């Protein structure tokens, strides 16, 4: 269980007395009822210090559950996405324990607004943008972004203080249509070439992976996917317009 120190206990650092602390604590309590070793680990580390990666990972556990339950159907593909996410970000060894915790969280009903406001108060804007990107990845994992899931992600984005344009930009990375490239750049198709270049520079600064370097190497690599989508959108617009 030592690997949990890097991730879960860090997340509980600032979550302990807020709604997130209650949700995670209840789930941990359910898991520990038949596992004295787990209970001992919890008691020994609940006063540990916070880590940024822990904050991000703990928050995603709860938001993943909210999105998965949006269409009233828990899909195997979505659960597999969550499992793979844990494996890629924290290693295969501890993925099973996190899935166990996640299954307990799925059983709970909790105030989504309160959770999001706690995240907003404790997490910087670039990390919150990355969080919305990951949630869209979960929704798309079954090959279809369900409207009810989009509605929940939009609600989460509003609570997290994400602007409508930023939300549409990230959403367009998953919804590909004739105007997606422009939506990603947060401009309209009638923008001038100069406005296109200016928009790209602005978005490149906002979405650059270095903005989330404090979350650790694993999350920075994930942020590169979003940055790649931005560059592809800019390349598409330049090609369509014959821009140099």
Query: CATH topology for 164-244?
Result: Helix Hairpins (1.10.287)
Whether residue 155 is predicted with pLDDT greater than 80 in this model: the reply is yes
177-203 residues labelled b (16+ CB within 10 A) or e (exposed):
eeebbbbbbbbeeebeeeebbebbeeb
Can you give the residue ranges of every domain in the chain?
1-162, 164-244
pTM confidence score: 0.83
Q: Which residue has the tokens 């942020």?
A: 223
Whether residue 2 is predicted with pLDDT greater than 50 in this model: the reply is no
**What local confidence, expressed as pLDDT, does residue 42 receive?**
37
pLDDT tens column, 59-118: 888 999 999 999 888 888 888 888 888 787 767 766 777 788 888 889 888 899 999 999
């Amino acid at each position: 269980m030592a690997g949990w120190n890097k991730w879960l206990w860090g997340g509980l650092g600032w979550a302990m007395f807020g709604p997130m602390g209650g949700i995670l604590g209840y789930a941990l309590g359910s898991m520990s009822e038949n596992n004295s070793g787990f209970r001992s680990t919890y008691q020994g580390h609940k006063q540990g210090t916070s880590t940024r990666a822990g904050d991000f990972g703990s928050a995603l556990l709860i938001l993943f559950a909210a999105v998965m339950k949006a269409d009233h159907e828990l899909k195997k593909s979505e659960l597999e996405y969550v499992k793979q996410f844990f494996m890629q970000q924290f290693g295969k060894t501890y993925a099973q324990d996190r899935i166990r915790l996640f299954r307990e969280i799925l059983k709970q009903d909790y105030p989504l607004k309160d959770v999001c406001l706690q995240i907003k108060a404790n997490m910087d804007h670039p990390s919150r943008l990355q969080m919305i990107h990951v949630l869209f990845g979960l929704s798309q994992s079954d090959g279809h972004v369900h409207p009810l899931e989009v509605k929940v992600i939009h609600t989460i984005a509003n609570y997290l203080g994400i602007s409508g344009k930023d939300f549409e930009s990230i959403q367009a990375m998953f919804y590909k249509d004739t105007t997606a490239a422009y939506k990603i750049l947060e401009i309209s198709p009638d923008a001038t070439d100069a406005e296109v270049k200016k928009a790209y520079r602005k978005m490149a600064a906002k979405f650059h992976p270095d903005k989330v370097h404090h979350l650790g190497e694993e999350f920075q690599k994930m942020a590169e996917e979003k940055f790649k989508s931005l560059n592809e959108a800019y390349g598409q617009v330049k090609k369509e317009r014959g821009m140099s």
